[in-house]
Structures are given as C-alpha cells and as structure tokens.
Amino acid sequence: MARRTIHVAEYDPAWPARAAAAIEELEQALPGVMVEIEHIGSTAVPGLAAKPIIDLMAAVTDLEIVERDEETLAALGYHRHFNGMVDRLLYVRAPGGVRDHILHVVTLASWPTRNQRIFAITAGRTAHIHLGQGCRCCRCRT
C-alpha cells in the first residue's frame, strides 16, 4: 500500500467559506436528507494549523437513505470510502486524486456524542447560537 505524505498547512481563513459552500451544495443536491450538517475537525478551528482537507459531518435519520442516493453524491465528486466503520458512512472528494473534502454521515441518534463535533467546539469554535427569524446559519438558511 502506498504511503501518502501528510501536509499540514497554516490556518487558512478561506476554510470556513469552503465548508459553507460544500454544505450548501450538499443541502441543495439532497434536500431534506441531512437533518444536521456541520464543518468539523481541525479546519473548523480558527487559527489552528491543519491538513487542508475540509471535514463535514452530517446527521440523517437512516444511513440507508444516503446509501440509496450515492449517485447524487458521486455527481458532486464524493465517493464512498470503505474503512471498516459500521456506525457511519464516509465519502471522500478528491479531484485530481488530491483529497479536499471528507463527508462523515452518521445517524441523528448519535449526533450529540460525536467526538469530531465535540473537538471542534471545545477547541475554540463557538457552539451554534440560533439568531431567530432571518438567521443564516447552516441550520436556518433558506
């Protein structure tokens, strides 16, 4: 098996915008499928050096719903990565063979306890604050 070189980059202030664009693209392609979706991992922590790969985590009511619609994800460049985990689905986007996004899909029941989400919040990211009518956060955008 070929080994990949791991590259850690200085924090890029464009990472949150790249994550937001990917979230919007996924929500439009799979309307109503992802109950929650967030930017997670080290690129979600302002000021932290990281591998320049945007990690997203989405919660769905049933993993099979996403499995049945993998063609839609493939059209966006996300391809299933089988890594032996049975509690989630993993999709990697790697244009030109270079990973730039990873999508973790988990059940809504497991959403509150996912370590990757907890890391991003406790490492410096603020928790979601709903701003009411007109809020433009990932959960409230229309």
CATH number of the domain that 34 lies in?
Answer: 3.30.460.10
Report the share of the chain in percent with pLDDT over 90. Answer: 60
Distance CA 60, CA 107 (A): 5
- Inside any domain, residue 48: yes
Specify if 40 maps to a domain: yes
Query: Do residues 27 and 74 make contact, with C-beta atoms less than 8 angstroms apart?
Result: no
Per-residue pLDDT tens for 20-29? 999 999 999 9
Per the structure, the complete domain to which residue 35 belongs is given by: 15-122
Q: Give 92-121 pLDDT, tens digit per residue.
A: 999 999 999 999 999 988 877 766 665 565
Residue type, 139: R
Is 133 part of any domain?
no
Residue 74, domain member (yes or no)? yes
Count of domains in the chain? 1
The reply to whether 88 falls in a domain is yes
Q: Is 97 left (phi over 0), alpha (psi -120 to 50) or beta?
A: left
Q: Angle at the Cα of 17 (from 67 to 81), degrees rounded to 5?
A: 25
CA distances for 108 relative to 6, 21, 90, 105, 111, angstroms? 31, 22, 15, 9, 5
Residue 4 forms part of a structural domain: no
Is 130 within the bounds of a domain?
no
CA distances from 89 to 47, 112, 120, 137 (A): 29, 17, 20, 24
Examine residue 25 and state whether it is found in any structural domain, yes or no.
yes
